[in-house]
Structure 1
């Protein structure tokens, strides 16, 4: 049975059949992109002290510092590009960012619940929806431009828009400060990114003092996050549309059954605004205008307060404390008990600094580093891999297993399943298709499938064991037989044939559609290693849609407050 005939047969996901949801050509382009990210990391690790910037000692510290700079450059790109109307020609000639910025965007996409919510919710990020559509449609051409020498027009436009060199390594000599806004007086300050005392913006103990004449409290990441939350609370927009940008609290729009549940998000914000501390300063004893009609003035204000005045009033009442503000927004839900824990864990995880997005993008990129290294170790990113029959066989095998993984998820919507390395690669590639990924999830799984790459090792191990058992029960073939638990190198698991089958069969008879096996790919040690659990350092990608997350007690997208569950977003949260 030749491999080509296997590819052409439809895959079965639940009761439905489909052609492959992920093209092998797209996976190859994705691997080329990962290879470029790995090459960038190698360049950074080999850096020595140069120019104006002191480089951290130690390769890991140096890479973390560089990723922090890349996230700053990503933010500058967003500010510069957010009001542009992009088409393919203008993107390739003018607005396609450097490889380090694309690396950050790539990691952002691999947290799809947060990514999809943010680009609908935050005004300065909405252009990413169009960028994702262009990448989905023209991924081959865009990636070719990314991996080639940049056009002069593109370099000049980047320099004009960001005031930084195009080359990310050269940029490290110039990107040494950033602008922040004092939460108290709105003075714009330039703060250092790195300081010898460890109090720079990119460092864990960041602290800054306002230089204005007002006696403002110290500025920390926490106080910046408090201002971000107060701004989202006090910004109601200026129209009746529920879909108005910057209207909803982060973490309230997404649910697995509906990634854009505007009515639910509006209801949550209306309830939050019932907290006495958060009321409009002119009518603290009365409710502020409802979110669905913010311009309807039924409150006989003499002078209606501005959004900025309302925001500052909130911050003063909680003494610029993020913890106090989070406590206040929780009060209107006090009667709901533990049912709202996942929701507020998700909200809490979204407010950790002043960035417009809702996840820790530095952490997301760093976690992707181990994912990329695994592909490098498997020799999956070299050009020779694509030229060999072996490479195509491995990817065909991975695509089949990914569709089997989706079929398993369809039958177990509340289960916590862990992909192997090969399945994870195809899953990541699928997520980069943006709106197509969302459409495919809705069509075949009847819900949006989130992806969390920040889960504790123990939770990963138990989830992987559960996946192995469910896979073998469902398909009568091993998922991955680990011959050495310490090295996580897997013994062969047979490939699965996906015959057309009979879609009218009863659920209990569906197993026979998967029973016909093809021979394991001969002499493919790399493919066997790929059957080990996908492991991003001490974490991995998991599925939590519909079920509670064991790390945070409910799947909160960071419900552990940056501990075991982190900012990747757990699919089971959101109500």
Structure 2
């Protein structure tokens, strides 16, 4: 689901074109993305019970990969970023399609000049084939992973035997603790009676205490390390552009080192027994009461949302985000909707952007084909930011947490606006109007079909006969062949 942005007379809105070969938004890239989605849809544990721990380990491995890239500077020789394993790519892909959070997280943790901010997802590795899709892996990347990134601790390709336990560092004493997978899964889901405990200092681990400690550690670092900033403060709220001066000003005004509130926050983090969000939010309310300024509540809320119950280093719970995004992936890799050429989908994406410009301050929901193109665009983070900023004077936000009833109502409103603007049918084949979870900006849940069949190189009758005989899988193969 997408919040629309105000229009500006000088904005050069894109025009529909017969071909897109000179643009990032071209059928080749969209098709490569479809191939990748097929691969990512299979990135899960073979045993369903282990899938949650698979994602937890993948999240850890993603963080480790980014840290190694940053500290060892693999970009300095002009090489492309070494491609990580499929589970790490799953996390990277999910992080990228939340462009605000991805940009702030990378810029905040690794610097606003980090080359990773300019790095695109490796779509070039994907090709279509008789087996529907194929990813060409580089053996050197696997060697690099096994020798440098993990030092042989976890292999490039995870198997179920690698998922039986998980290690984590205690944020209070830095001891590395190892837990059985099922106990850790219960901890992540919040349905464990006894909290996890550090085997050395006996600190209690819950999502509440760990995320609270992460916030307090970041606060201490921001207070003592000039280039470091709190989550939720680095990007200007209206535009999504980096604003270092504003981030410093927010830190200085909300958390001056000399105040009782700031000193109390730091003391809260000294032990797991006192480090919890109820106490932190009490301090936030005190700060808001003392300052009596309208912006304070918004700033504190942005900070809270970047930390509370998020135990990974980022402002986004990647495990939960992958689970939400899987609903979109399962829809998009289902060949039943493949009834249109990718050029048409790209044109409709451009038309959707124009609809956003014409309807500021409205919540609009794209269809499945439009969202596929948009997700492809977001895999080129630098281009997506510049492109949407040039059009709207802000970087567009991708929000997949809008309640289901709001999403449904907004989809109907979007469909009405589209048709009134004379752009034709928005989603003409309404074969499925059922809800598939509370997921925003995930088109196709109300209307999973795309547009009418448009086949240039294959006779329509032959295609229909092929569909009848071969089913959904063959329909998708036909799409790959015709694009």
Of residues 209, 212, 234 in structure 1, which corresponds to 2:197?
Answer: 209
In the alignment, the residues of structure 2 paired with residue 148 and residue 203 of structure 1 have an alpha-carbon distance, to the nearest angstrom, of 39
- 1:268 maps to what in 2? 250
| Number of residue pairs matched by the alignment | 423
- Is the CA contact 1:192–1:201 (under 8 Å) kept in the aligned structure 2? no
2:376 paired residue number = 429
Query: Which of 115, 124, 127 matches 1:140?
Result: 124
1:36: how far off? 1.1
Change (3 A) 1:355 1:133: same
CA contact (8 A) 2:97 2:375 kept: yes
Query: Scaled by the length of structure 2, what TM-score is found?
Result: 0.75
**Which has the bigger relative contact order, CA under 8 A and spacing at least 6?**
2
Q: Does residue 460 of the first structure (1) align with residue 372 of the second (2)?
A: no
Q: Does 1:319 align with 2:274?
A: yes
Equivalent residue number for residue 378 of structure 1: 335
Q: 1:197 to 1:228 in 2, by over 3 A?
A: closer
1:149 Cα deviation from its structure 2 partner: 4.3
State the match for 2:481 in structure 1.
Answer: none
In 2, the alpha carbon distance for the partners of 1:141 and 1:355 equals 28
The DSSP-based 3-state class of the residue aligned with 1:82 is: helix
1:100 corresponds to which of 77, 84, 87: 87
1:351-377, Cα deviation, whole Å (9 max, x unpaired): 124321111101111122121211221
2:49 matches 1:64? no
Q: How far is 1:471 from its partner?
A: 1.4
Contact residue 233 and residue 250 of structure 2 kept, 8 A: no
Partner residue, 1:333: 288
After superposition, the C-alpha distances for 1:420-439 in whole angstroms (9 at most, x for unaligned) are 10000000001111111000
Report 1:445-484 matches (<5 A).
445-481=392-428, 483-484=430-431
**Aligned-pair CA distance for 1:415:** 0.9
2:231–2:315 contact (8 Å) kept in structure 1: no
Alpha-carbon distance in 2 for matches of 1:221, 1:271: 28
Say if 1:237 and 1:24 are closer, same or farther in 2 by CA, change over 3 A: farther
Alignment of 1:326-365 (within 5 A): 326-334=281-289, 336=292, 342-351=298-307, 352-365=309-322
SS at match of 2:56: helix
Matches within 5 A, 1:180-199: 180-183=169-172, 186-192=173-179, 194-196=181-183, 199=186
Question: What is the RMSD of the two structures over their aligned residues, measured on CA atoms?
Answer: 3.8
1:410 counterpart (342, 354, 357): 357
TM-score computed with the length of structure 1 as normaliser: 0.64
- 5+ residue gaps, structure 1, are 1-11, 48-58, 282-309, 496-520, 526-575
Query: Aligned in 2, Cα 1:355/1:197: closer, same or farther, shift over 3 Å?
Result: closer
Higher helix share: 2
| Deviations, residues 186-245 of structure 1 (Å, cap 9, x unaligned) | 241413152459655676537222344x6x6523221111111112222236676xxx2x
In the alignment, structure 1 residue 111 sits paired with structure 2 residue 95: no
Residues of 1 paired with 2:272 and 2:169: CA distance?
22
Aligned counterparts of 2:450 and 2:277: Cα–Cα separation in 1: 51
**Matches of 1:319 and 1:276, distance apart in 2:** 19
Partner of 1:498: none
8 Å CA contact 1:256, 1:449 repeated in 2: no
What is the CA–CA distance in structure 1 between the aligned matches of 2:304 and 2:420, rounded to whole Å?
A: 38
Does the residue aligned with 2:229 lie in a helix, a strand or coil?
A: coil
SS at match of 1:179: strand
Q: Distance in 2 between matches of 1:328 and 1:420?
A: 43
Residues 13-162 of structure 1 correspond to what in structure 2 (within 5 A)?
16-17=13-14, 22-41=25-44, 44-45=45-46, 47=47, 59=48, 61-87=49-75, 95-123=82-110, 129-131=114-116, 133-135=118-120, 139-141=123-125, 147-151=135-139, 153-160=140-147, 161-162=149-150
Q: CA deviation at 1:176?
A: 1.5
Deviation at 1:104, TM superposition (A): 0.7
Contact 2:205 2:272 in 1 (8 A): no
Task: Give 1:229's match in structure 2, choosing from 203, 215, 219.
Answer: 215
Return the alpha-carbon distance in structure 2 between the equivalents of residues 143 and 13 of structure 1.
Answer: 39
What are structure 2's unaligned runs of at least 5 residues?
Answer: 1-8, 129-133, 435-445, 454-458, 465-483
Partner Cα distance (1:77, 1:363) in 2: 20
